[in-house]
Each structure stands twice: as C-alpha cells, then as structure tokens.
Amino acid sequence: MPPNSAQTIAITGFMAVGKSAVGRTLARRLKRQFVDLDKVIEKTEGMKVKDIFAQKGESYFREREKQALAEVLKHENQVIATGGGAIIDEENLGLLREKTLLVCLTASPDALLKRIGAGSKRPLLKDADRKNRIEELLQLREEKYAQAHLSIDTTDLTINQVAERIIEMAKLEG
C-alpha cells in the first residue's frame, strides 16, 4: 500500500519490541496524534490491561481491543501502537492492512526477555518459563506479523533509529 499524507501508521509487534516508544517518537516527528490502543482500552475499562486479563480474561480483553481499534481507525493522520496480540484477530489484521501503513517491529527473543525483565505487568508471561513462552507466542504470531507492509528488527537499534527507518522506508516527510 503506497503511503499518503493522511494515512495512519499502525505499529504492531510483540510485547517490549518498542511499539509505544517508537510510535510516540514517530508521531512527534511527523506532527501526528499518537494513540496507544492499550491506553484507550484502559481508559474505557477504568483498569490496567493486566487487571482486565486477571479479572475478565483474555477473550474479554480481545473483544474490547477489537472495538477500540475500529473506533480509532475512523480517524486519519495518526500513529497507532497496537497491543502485541491485536493482529491475531483476522478482522483486526484486515482493517489494519486496509486502513493503515502497518509496520511490524521485531526483536530477538533474548532482547525481548531482557527488555521485559522480571516484572509482573505482562499477563501472557505470568507463571511461565518466560523465554520459552516468548518463543512460543512469537511462533504462533509469526504468520500474522509477516503480513505487515513493513518490518523492522529493533534488536540493535535505538528508538530514534527505528523511527527514522520507518520514515525512510515509507518515504514520509519528517
């Protein structure tokens, strides 16, 4: 999909790959609104994503995510950071491919594990061998992530370098 000046850019990829940080930087550079889909859901639900998972379950969260994405995509000229699992849903993936320039950020499992650390904010890694769970989830999502219009490995890049690569690859003014 060739980019246009009003086209929304959506950034997807696994947890801790840099979606929100890169999205904020990219939006600032392109003078666009930044939207963090998880934050939209948290505001609507009045609780953190990890609490939604814990209290209402993943399927409930995914339904809220689908609704929030459809609402956010009604607007143009923005940068959206999706949750890492948003593209698992075929309708979400189709909408993102159709209505945005979809950019997938990747990183090695070791880099992701280092970035995630030992905290408890990641519900999909709770009570698990984190590296094995990361590798398992990456494998499950690999086919979906591969459908993005652009893909950038962030393993050895800074946030600014990733934003610059997106601007260059998409031939955007920033």
pLDDT category at 174 given cuts 50, 70, 90 is low
pTM: 0.89
CA distance 42 to 130: 25
CA-based nearest residue to 6, from 24, 38, 31: 31
- Within 8 A by CB and 6+ apart from 130, the residues are 113, 116
∠ CA 12-14-16, nearest 5°, is: 105
CA distance 124 to 145: 18
The H or E element spanning position 116 is: helix 109-116
Query: What confidence score (pLDDT) does residue 130 get?
Result: 77
Structure tokens given for 20: 């929100």
pLDDT tens digits, residue range 155-165?
999 999 999 99
pLDDT tens digits, residue range 14-40?
989 999 999 999 999 999 999 999 999
For 142, phi then psi, to 5°, come to -50, -45
pLDDT tens digits, residue range 64-94?
999 999 999 999 999 999 988 899 999 999 9
CA distance 133 to 68: 27
What residue type is 76 in one-letter code? E
